[in-house]
Amino acid sequence: MKLTDYEAADSFFKRAIGIMFRRRLEKPMLFTFPQAGTSMNSIHSFFCFIRFDAVFLDEGKRIVDVRERIMPFTPLIVPKKPAKYLVEAPAGWAKRKGLKAGDRLYF
């Protein structure tokens, strides 16, 4: 699948804030981490007031984990395998796109 319309979270500050404090998520947010990992690239949904999907990708842009409809104030979401990229998208996005582990995203 090709991801063309997204918001880039490509700096430390943008990755730290992510979708916190938002009431709506218009388009997916693509996070680029400095290096692949699991616990160091984990996320939380503290101060996120909306449900969202999280799609973790490895260095080859293959999906390693899909978490759907994450609830606000979930303490810790750790990818199942090392991730270099993350897409946070509106709830239901991953299912609508038919995304699953092993699929590749292009961006």
pLDDT tens readout for residues 11-30: 999 999 999 999 999 999 99
The class level of CATH for 7-97 reads: mainly beta
Domain ranges across the chain = 7-97
- What pLDDT is attached to residue 82? 97
> Measured on CA atoms in the order 92, 93, 97, 103, is the torsion positive or negative?
negative
> Measured on CA atoms in the order 64, 58, 93, 40, is the torsion positive or negative?
positive
Which residues, other chains included, contact 90 with Cβ-Cβ below 8 Å and sequence gap of 6+?
A: 25, 26, 28, 50, 52, 53
The pLDDT tens digits for 88-100 are 999 999 999 999 9
Listed residue (68, 71, 35) closest to 50, CA to CA:
71
Residue 102 CB coordination number (10 Å): 8
For residue 40, what pLDDT band results from cuts at 50, 70 and 90? confident
pTM greater than the 0.75 cutoff: yes
